[in-house]
Amino acid sequence: MQKEQATESKFPLKGIFRKLADYRDTRLRIFRLKAVERAAGLIASVFVLFFLSLALGYYIGELFGRVSFGFLAVAGLYLVLLGLGVCFRDRIKNLLTNLSIRRLAQRKADEMD
């Protein structure tokens, strides 16, 4: 024990480097966990959208009398949404950027309180 203390007093940077390495490893683990969490949320959202699209396709198909017309209507709806997304791409990008900035600013303000 005395030898460890003597070594640490001779080389005080050794402990700092060890703590920095631990900190880096911890931050890396946190980053990976957040990435996995976001990916899982995205995958879950895609599954929900897929099943809702199936349900909507069958429902509209029942209204039209043919299931294929229902799925055609859902595909048409997605094409219209895609077209609107392409037309208003810059507005959507600005809106999402502003929302992200507000969200980050709010999170920073909450951390300060």
The predicted-structure confidence for 42-89, as pLDDT tens digits, reads as follows 999 999 999 999 999 999 999 999 999 999 999 999 999 999 999 999
Q: How many domains does the chain have?
A: 1
Q: What distance in Å separates the CA atoms of residue 60 and residue 80, rounded to the nearest whole number? A: 17
Both tokens of 61, joined, read 């198909």
With beta carbons less than 8 A apart as the criterion, state whether 22 and 35 touch: no
- As a whole number, mean pLDDT of residues 99-103 equals 92
Mean pLDDT taken over the chain:
90
Question: Residue 9: what pLDDT?
Answer: 59
Q: Which domain holds residue 42?
A: 2-112
pLDDT band with cut points at 50, 70 and 90 for residue 8:
low
The first and second tokens of residue 37, run together, are 């969490």
Residue 6 has pLDDT above 70, yes or no: no
The pLDDT value recorded for residue 17 is 87
* Residue-level length of the chain: 113
Confidence bin at 11 (pLDDT 50/70/90):
low
Q: Which has the closest alpha carbon to 79: 36, 96, 87?
A: 87
| SS3 category, 95 | helix
What CA–CA distances, in Å, run from 55 to 8, 65, 78, 87? 67, 15, 15, 28
d(CA 110, CA 103): 10
The whole-model pTM stands at: 0.62
Q: For the residues 91-112, what does the mean pLDDT come to?
A: 89
